[in-house]
């Protein structure tokens, strides 16, 4: 019997992180002393108070049933509203402007399914997190790639988008702090985004999964701080990176009530919300002390400085990211992104992600993650720099 996959699945390229996992396992099987700078999965444990809250909630039989709430458990929605007001100065209505999600990834995908029809055009950044474009293709839409260039601080240049393209577009994705470049946006950029969206009647989705991973105290803003954003924008947040909760799968969508409502209607037909005990733990994370988040930022910033300073000492022109867990570094002279990543794996035992995995404008770069699992991270980074140095590469 021949079993044929749906065209929407058969046409998909390999998910880049699945390929990274395969390469990692192969290298380990071959006995390579591997230095892993691949996937951005926090290496620190979830803070103990959050775990304690989960354990207490899991013992309550009320959490063993379906969550029948529309937008999420009231205590979670209230915690989000309080946290958002404190962090960004933005008031949110718990009845319609907040939706609990099972992490950010599914929220991004389901938002597309809720609003994009076959033939619709979606504006996506390039380089980008793959979910924006893959979900658009699932929905039968098409994408227009907005180049993010180092010369422009990796910000979208709205003036470079042709007028006919802008007028056809149904949805726009942005993501700051940005994966993979580490760039951050300011409120002036978000004001320009809302101005563009209203001029061309475009839905804005801001993926803010890394909103709390910023450095030197320069807090990343929310697009919802901009006047008029509540008319056309939705922002997706995740507890994964902020509280070291990637495996817990918990996040939230906030913003325009129509957009939150459309996402909610779609999700009510495909999932039954997160495990209520996890939602209670999430509420505890958002409403409890935030000292663990401060420690996380300081830890990543220190690693950033160790790695960037070390690579610069080799003549590698690496910029320090303003946020996220990632270093976005140009490849050495004469290499493509894939070739350079392969060279580092083969000759230096270093696993990195080729920039081309994030889109055509990622070509010429690699991404190095700072979520490093090692007893002595400083020594681990120093060894990586030493291995690269032995390769005798040039970037001039």
Give the model confidence (pLDDT) of 349-370 as tens digits: 999 999 999 999 999 999 999 9
Percent of the chain with pLDDT over 70: 98
pTM reported for the whole predicted model: 0.95
Same domain, 262 and 364: no
- Domain boundary, last residue among 287, 322, 353: 287
- The predicted-structure confidence for 246-291, as pLDDT tens digits, reads as follows 999 999 999 999 999 999 999 999 999 999 999 999 999 999 999 9
Kindly report the CATH number assigned to the domain that includes residue 338. Answer: 3.90.1150.10
The residues, any chain, with a CB within 8 Å of residue 32's CB and separated by 6 or more, are 349
Same domain, 81 and 174: yes
The residues, any chain, with a CB within 8 Å of residue 261's CB and separated by 6 or more, are 96
For residue 100, report the phi and psi dihedrals to the nearest 5 degrees.
Answer: -65, 140
- Domain boundary, last residue among 252, 287, 322: 287
Residue 351: inside a domain, yes or no?
yes
Same domain, 208 and 84: yes
Assigned token pair, 300: 């990543």
pLDDT at 155 over 90: yes
- The predicted-structure confidence for 68-103, as pLDDT tens digits, reads as follows 999 999 999 999 999 999 999 999 999 999 999 999
pLDDT at 15 over 80: no
Kindly report the CATH number assigned to the domain that includes residue 85. Answer: 3.40.640.10
The residues, any chain, with a CB within 8 Å of residue 380's CB and separated by 6 or more, are 35, 372, 374
Same domain, 230 and 109: yes
Which has more pLDDT, 8 or 104? Answer: 104
Assigned token pair, 29: 């099987």
Range of the domain at 76: 48-287
Q: Where are the alpha helices (H) located in 169-290, listed in sequence order? A: 187-200, 257-268, 276-287
Helix (H) or strand (E) holding 302: helix 291-312
Same domain, 142 and 232: yes
Same domain, 240 and 200: yes
Confidence of residue 142 (pLDDT cuts 50, 70, 90): very high
The neighbouring-strand residues paired with 122 are: 143, 171
- The predicted-structure confidence for 217-248, as pLDDT tens digits, reads as follows 999 999 999 999 999 999 999 999 999 999 99
CA end-to-end span of the chain, whole Å?
A: 57
Same domain, 263 and 342: no
Same domain, 17 and 76: no
Tally the domains of the chain. Answer: 2
For residue 295, report the phi and psi dihedrals to the nearest 5 degrees.
Answer: -65, -40
Check if the beta carbon of residue 194 is closer than 8 Å to that of residue 223.
yes
Same domain, 244 and 375: no
- Domain boundary, last residue among 287, 308, 325: 287
Q: CA angle at residue 221 from 212 to 238, to 5 degrees?
A: 40
Residue 249: inside a domain, yes or no?
yes
- The predicted-structure confidence for 57-77, as pLDDT tens digits, reads as follows 999 999 999 999 999 999 999
What would the mean pLDDT of 174-192 be, rounded to a whole number?
A: 98
Same domain, 111 and 256: yes
Residue 159: inside a domain, yes or no?
yes
Check if the beta carbon of residue 174 is closer than 8 Å to that of residue 206.
yes
């Amino acid at each position: 019997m021949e079993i044929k996959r749906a065209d929407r699945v058969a046409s998909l390229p390999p998910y880049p992180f699945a390929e990274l996992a395969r390469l990692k396992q192969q290298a380990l099987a071959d006995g390579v002393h591997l230095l892993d700078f691949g996937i951005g999965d926090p290496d620190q444990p979830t803070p103990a108070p959050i775990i304690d809250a989960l354990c207490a909630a899991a013992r309550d039989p009320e959490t063993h049933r379906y969550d029948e709430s529309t937008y999420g458990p009231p205590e979670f929605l209230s915690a989000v509203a309080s946290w958002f007001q404190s962090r960004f100065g933005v008031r949110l209505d718990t009845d319609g402007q907040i939706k609990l999600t099972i992490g950010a990834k599914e929220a991004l995908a389901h938002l597309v399914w809720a609003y994009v029809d076959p033939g619709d055009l979606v504006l996506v950044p390039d380089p980008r997190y793959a979910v924006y474009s893959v979900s658009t293709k699932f929905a039968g839409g098409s994408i227009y790639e907005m180049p993010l260039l180092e010369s422009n601080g990796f910000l979208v240049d709205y003036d470079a988008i042709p007028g006919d393209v802008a007028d056809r577009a149904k949805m726009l994705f942005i993501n700051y702090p940005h994966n993979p470049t580490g760039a951050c946006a300011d409120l002036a950029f978000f004001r320009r985004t809302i101005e563009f969206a209203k001029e061309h009647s475009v839905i804005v989705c801001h993926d803010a999964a890394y909103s709390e991973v910023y450095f030197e105290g320069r807090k990343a803003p929310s697009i919802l701080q901009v006047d008029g954003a509540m008319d056309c924008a939705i922002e997706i947040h995740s507890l994964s990176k902020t509280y070291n909760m990637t495996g817990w799968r918990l996040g939230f969508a906030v913003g325009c009530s129509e957009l939150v409502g459309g996402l909610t209607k779609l999700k009510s037909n495909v999932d039954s919300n997160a495990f209520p005990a996890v939602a209670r733990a999430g509420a505890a994370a958002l409403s409890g002390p935030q000292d663990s988040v401060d420690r996380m930022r300081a830890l990543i910033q220190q690693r950033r400085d160790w790695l960037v300073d070390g690579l610069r000492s080799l003549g590698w022109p690496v910029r320090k990211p303003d946020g996220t867990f990632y270093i976005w570094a140009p490849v050495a002279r004469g290499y493509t992104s894939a070739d350079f990543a392969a060279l580092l794996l083969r000759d230096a035992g270093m696993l990195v992600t080729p920039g081309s995995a994030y889109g055509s404008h990622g070509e010429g770069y690699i991404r190095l993650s700072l979520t490093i699992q090692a007893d002595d991270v400083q020594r681990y980074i120093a060894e990586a720099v030493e291995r690269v140095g032995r390769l005798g590469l040039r970037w001039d």
